[in-house]
Each structure stands twice: as structure tokens, then as C-alpha cells.
Structure 1
Amino acid sequence: MVKKLFFIPLLLAVFTAFLACNPFMETPADSEAKEYEHFREVLKDSVFTLSQLKDVLIAIYPEEVLNNPNMFEIIDLLDTTRTVKNTAISYVTKDPKGNDIVASGLIITPVGRSSKGVLYFFPAAKINKATVGTKLMLTFEGVLGFFGYTVIIPDLLGYGLSEDKEFPFLFPENTGQVAYDLHLAAAEYFHSLGQPFSREVTIAGYSMGGMGVIALHRHIETKGKDGFVVKHSYPGGGIYDLNETIRYYKDEKSHHHPFMPYLFIALDYWYDLELDYSQIFKEPLLSNMDDWLSRTYTIQDIEKLLGDDIAWYMHPDFFTEEGNESLRKIYVHIKDHCVFTGWHPRSRMTIIHSSKDKVAPFSIARKMYDSFYQKGSPVTFLTSEKDHFAYGIQYFGSLLIYLTIK
């Protein structure tokens, strides 16, 4: 089913099922017999009230989002004395090469009341390594914890404890693995406290987080052997096929989010491609890439450095069909970076994507929906004519409005 939605109240109805209370709070049946295979230790924990959320939002999100008055007006109407406990943990997972690696993630739990269920919330793309969940200890994705939900937010590889590695940008297989291992570690953490942990999980995430939603949903249904079940997933505004996305940007020759250079760095790092970057980038990016692409700048800083014209910093061969030696090394690998081929969801999924999205191509989201729908999956497609960022605010705002009413 495809629906066009232009107002938050219409999108709101979809999340009603999402936020319905789960009466079966338990750990997987076989968890009693397991050692802690994934969970390693608590790195730190802190208690926050909702009144502290604004400062964290300002530290994380782009100016065009933060300047939206509706977002703060919603927060101002809420009970700002609500409290959550945020716990940063370390856990063992796998890197894209199959090696063990210690990563980190954030677990948010309500204080003074029972959990209504488990939400796994993927963060949107963060360029600056200092702005991830376990660094700040509170992110906007965790606001649902203030309303009684246990929220799990991954740092993912390349951030938090593993920040010395490159972030595997749009590596769906590894994203699903890393996210799932954090979920197992969270279950083990709750087990260590003698507290219940639901076998059902709802998954959400927007923009780069949208791909993560699909990756985790797929991993649970195809490789998960620990008794967890996806209740409902909500991928929003994501990039789901890397090959098609690069083709889209070649044609557009402009971007609305400066992720492209980081993608080439990640592919080179994890596939050992030994790229000649003089065949990838132009000056001045070529001479400054070690600094500019160090992930120590904000998105706004990088946008000022790179502008929105890809032709300004990408090698001219990028826009040709044949490319060059280094570009062809890239193209061999990106064909495998599609999160929806060879699989379709068994559990309910609501895909949320604007037809006017210039960051994540709408055509790919529609192609994914059609693929799932034709295979009989319980999938719904919600769309709008807002841009990527405005629809993202609507995505999050719909949850907040419902929670306020709840």
C-alpha cells in the first residue's frame, strides 16, 4: 500500500502500533544457559532529564533542523522532569573482514517505571566522531526513553570505542551484524542485572539510519538464532542500493549531504584497494583529504569546504561511463552493497520516504517497496513532497506527538 502524507497527524497513526505496549517482557528462552558472549563492560552511565535534551540537540543536528521552532515547541510542552538512565557499554562484534572488534553502544532505560518495550533506534549519519551516543551519553534518538521505552542506539564501527577505524559507510551486511551483536549484548547486560528484556524489538531510523533498519531487520530474520523477533520496522529516508545511488549522484552532479568522499575512504580501507586518490578527487580536496575527511569536523564545516557541486571535488572521470583504474576498483565492490536483494521481510515494515528527497533517491526506496510487496511481505509505503530534512523532522515529530498524547 502506498500513501501520500503531508501532515504529521497522518503519519502519526502508523506509529500507534509501533508504540503499543508489549506485555511479554522476557529474555530469549535459552539465555539462562549462556555466558556473556558479546557484552563486555559498562563504560559509564548517567541520569538525564528531558530538560537537558535541547543542549544535546544543538550539539548534534544540522542548523536547518535545530532552527525548526516546531521541534522545540513540542519539547517545551512535555514534562521536563521525566528521567532516563543512559548506559554506555562495550561489546564484541565483527568488522567487515570478519575479525573480532570491540565496539560500543548506548542503552537508555526509563527511571521509576517499567519498560513498555524495546526500540532499536539507528542514528542518522554523523560526520564528527565526537557526536555519537556513547560520547554525548544522550542523543535525540533516545528521547523515546523518556516515555517508558528501552532504547538501544549503536555507535557502529568507526565511532565510539572503534573510532580509530574507518566507518563502513553503507556496508549493509556488516551494519546488520554489528547492530545485532549490540542487541545481544544489551540482552546479556539486562540478564546480568536480573532484569527482563523483551524478545520483540521495533526498529527505527532515518537517513543513514534507514539503511540500518533494513540491515538489522534482515539479519534478525535470516541469521538470528537467539529468539528475537521484529515486531515492526520503520526505515525512513535511507540509501538502500549504493550502486544506484552513485549513478544518481553522477547524473545530478550535486549533493545535499557531503557523504560521498567518506564513502570512497571506507571502501578503500576495508577492501584494501590501494586507490590512487589523484584519480578520485580534485584539488583542493586532494591535498587536504587527510584533514578534511578526518571526521573531526561538523557537517556544516564540511559543507562549507566542499560546497554542493560534486564536480568541484570529484575527478572528471567519475562522470564518465568507463571511469578509470581506481574508480573501477570501487565499482567492482559496490555492486554488493544493496540491502534488499535476495530477501523480503516476514514482519511488518513501513517504508517512509519523500518523493522529493535529494539526499537518498526516492526511486530506490520505491524499487525496494515494490520488490517486497510483490513477494507478499506485509509492507506499507508512506511518502510526501517535503525535502529530506523536513520529512526527517516529521518522522521524529510524529513519534513525539504520539508520545505526548500517550
Structure 2
Amino acid sequence: MKIISVVGARPNFMKIAPFAKAISAHNSADPDRPIEHILVHTGQHYDVRMSEGFFHSLGIPDPDINLEIGSGSHAEQVGQTMIAFEKVILQEKPDWVVVVGDVNATLACSVAAKKLCVKVCHIEAGLRSGDMTMPEEVNRLVTDRLSDLLLTPDAISGHNLRAEGVSEEKIRFVGNIMIDTLEANRDKAAQLSMEDILRENLLLPEKETPAVDLSGDFALLTMHRPSNVDQKEVLEPILNFLTGEVAPRMPIIWPIHPRARKMLENFGLWEKAVACANLVLLHPIGYHEMLRLNMQASIMLTDSGGLQEECCVLGTPCLTLRWNTERPVTLKEHGGASVLVGNNVERIREEFHTALESDRMPQRPELWDGLTAARCVSWLVDSE
């Protein structure tokens, strides 16, 4: 069996790492049914901090093929990826194309594969936010409609697919492959020094680092979605809340996404962020560094889907800076650690104070056990 798996952006990397390892384990355990694995990187995230560092730290094999698509609009990325990936399929003639998550590469490569009558497997199938203004929602819907094997992370995702009329024989509940990566790297992350993480990743080393009590309370922040950073009337009140109300109470550690920094600068808000003594601005950081911070943070404020999932398992109270989520299993009403607060400061303020009074309560949804990748490989082999 020949499989091409595809990664395009940073959220994919944490999902493909355990999958690649599970294929190696299968080949060692069952040499009579070997899998030839070709890893394709579309190059959607292409700089060292956003891409290369993740490959090395997570032990992902170097990509066999890099399409080097780079940045661009959604249409440009999807179109260029389809053109380049079609050539790969014609050359390699795989039995399966495996896509993960919901980035542009996921959509582009699933369409290209199906047009050439190659079977598609979608890992992390069935996630739905119900928000068609999110490009990721379009990517999920189209990819799931085309896929021959849909590997779901939770029971809610399977229900979504059945409600859309997907036949039962295509759906397999395997658990959350992101948690495989968390469990495989938890001990390594725990050994990292918090002081070293801050010192080595300071965005502005010339700015005096505050005397952060790393054993005490601190907030961890990530924010990159256009809905939060692309409009001054949204971003400025959030920044005012962070600098005026959160920072006086506890340090805020903010590994800042290039998009967020660019918009702060465009809106004339950058100096306000830099001037806040208790706001620690970092470069985008590696997986282990973020996991280490999350393991100790008193509260997470994020618009990242993957961090919602990690907070659920780690028990970190999480304010999700979105009005909806494709991962409802992580919400408090489903036993998780996350609360949807959108970008309304009154809502954020209310839930911030509630979260600080809450106990840390790690939760582990069904099959979030660190063994998902092995189940994915097993279902692919059985579907041969």
C-alpha cells in the first residue's frame, strides 16, 4: 500500500507526527503488509519559526516533497496547491491520500485526489462550527463530502456526519490524534525551564523583562483570527482589557502571531502593547514550549482550536475568543475546560473572573488516550 499524507500549516504538524510514527510501527510489526509513506508539505507555513522548528522538535521526517506554495489568498493557495499536487499524484500513483485538519491544503489535496480517482482519508473528520464565514468550515465540509474514510475525533463529530447523510461504513471513531502528540511530549515539555522559554523567545530583548513569578498565577494568550485582529474596533478594546485589567493582576505571556503584530502596528496600538510592563511578548514558540506554558498557566485566552483541546486534557481554564467552535466536546457544558466568550470585552471580563475562581479539572473525552494514530493506520490497512 502506498499512502501520501499531506501537511500544509502548523496545526497539521502536531497531527501528522504520531501518524508517521504509527506507520513506522506498523511496518515493523507487520512486514508482510508494508506501507510506503510519502509525506508532502505544501508549504503554506514556510518560515523557520512557523514550520521547520516543529518538524525537528516533533521528530517528523523531513518531507519527501515540498510544494513551496507559500502565502497568498485562499483561492491562490488552493489553486496553486491543486496544480502542484496533481503532478505528485500522477507521478506517485498512491492508493490513498491522507489529509488532516481543515487548512487550505486539506481541501486542495482532497479535491485533486478525487478528480484522479484516488481514495481520500480525512483524519479529524466531522468537526463543525456551523459558521460558513470561516474558511476552515468550507474546507471541512468539502473534504468530508469527498472522503472515502472519515476518521472522527469524538462522538459529536460522528453525529454531524450521519446528520449530513454520510454512510455508516465510511465513518470510524478513532479519537483525537492531537492528544497522541500531547501524551508523547508531556514529559519532555515538563523538563523545560520556564525562565529559559521566556529568555530565549523574547520578542523585544531590549525591553526589560518583568519579574514574573513563574510559580504564581499568569495568563497565556494566543490570538490570530481575522475576526479578532483585523478590525481596530475589535482589537483595541481587547488590548485595553488585557493591559488595563489583566496585567495589573497577573503577568500575561503572549507568543504573538505575525498577523496580530502587523495589525497592532497598522492600528497604532503596538506601542501600547510594548509599554505594558506585565505583558511579555514572545516570538511564535515551539510545540514543547507552548505545552510547558499551558501546563502551568492559570488561564488561557485563545482563538486556537488545538489549544482548546489541550486545555481540556490539561485542565487549564480556557476562554475561547470565538462565538462558535467546531470542538464543542471541549466546552464546559460537555465536560471540558473551555467557555466561548467571542470578542465582547464584557463577556471576556465576566468569564475571566469566573475562571480564576475555578479549580483545575483535567478531562479526557472518550478515546483521547494517545493511541489514535495506531487506530488510524489500522483502519487504512483494513480498508485496503
TM > 0.5 fold call = no
Greater relative contact order: 1 or 2 (C-alpha under 8 angstroms, separation 6 or more)? 1
User: TM-score, normalised on structure 2?
Assistant: 0.34
From the two aligned structures, give the one with the greater helix fraction.
2
